[in-house]
Amino acid sequence: MATPPLKAVTLTHVRYQKGDKLGHFLAWVSLIPVFISLSGFITHFIFRRELQGIFFFIGLIISQFINEFIKTTVQQARPETCVLLETCDSHGWPSSHSQYMFFFATYLTLLLFSKRHVILHLLTWSVAFFTLYSRVYLGYHTVAQVFAGAGLGVFIGAVWFWIVNNVLYLCFPIIEESVFGRVFYVKDTSHIQNVLKFEYDKARAERQRAGSISKSE
């Protein structure tokens, strides 16, 4: 019986030429979507449980489903380097990595649109463009494929942001007061201008209150 061909998980299966320091660096850059998903959003849900963050992540998942649907429908091949990278069994248009990072950058920019976050936005967009470049440099996509992914990511990110903050936002109080919201302490703090200061002041006030109670006892 013939052994069935093996298929790699392309999201984490990244190769570069041995000795290529730039390629090594860009290989790690192309894994940033994985780090964002696993360490960023999962940690966010465990410790923060903000509705904006939850719907941000849901949007990224929807975007990736759309990407996969388009890929399987268009079925555009990857560049010829796919033979060396062993990725010829998957399609290349549009680039899912580019789409992910440009969705992320677009949504985050719209969510935190203020002069206070200029450095954060510069960092986010720099990483997005580095990811785009890495997919071409490493041979996983053509230029057209990464720019298609980037454009789609920006479009879906902007549309999803509008839906969340103009339609779904009306349901945030309902979710907070629901059984799910009360059990898992899901909340929305987007109406608070400076969440860090708000939580800091609340924590100090509570500590001072607890201290005064213990002294009175």
Does 6 score more than 80 pLDDT? no
Give mean pLDDT, residues 197-214: 81
Count of beta carbons in the 10 Å neighbourhood of residue 185? 9
Does 179 score more than 90 pLDDT? yes
Give mean pLDDT, residues 89-111: 90
pLDDT of residue 10: 55
Give mean pLDDT, residues 69-90: 82
pLDDT tens sequence across 149-175? 999 999 999 999 999 999 999 999 999
Pair 60, 104: CB distance under 8 Å:
yes
pLDDT of residue 4: 64
pTM of the full predicted structure? 0.83
Does 37 score more than 80 pLDDT? no
Handedness of CA 50, 51, 56, 60 (dihedral sign): positive
**Cα gap 175→180, rounded to integer Å:** 7
pLDDT of residue 189: 85
Instruction: Kindly compute the dihedral angle of the four CA atoms of residues 40, 42, 45, 51, in this order, to the nearest 10 degrees.
Output: 70
Give the helix/strand (H/E) hosting 82: helix 82-85
**Cα gap 163→139, rounded to integer Å:** 35
89 vs 136, which has greater pLDDT? 136
Does 2 score more than 80 pLDDT? no
Residue 13 identity: H
pLDDT of residue 71: 92
**Cα gap 76→93, rounded to integer Å:** 6
Give the helix/strand (H/E) hosting 96: helix 96-111
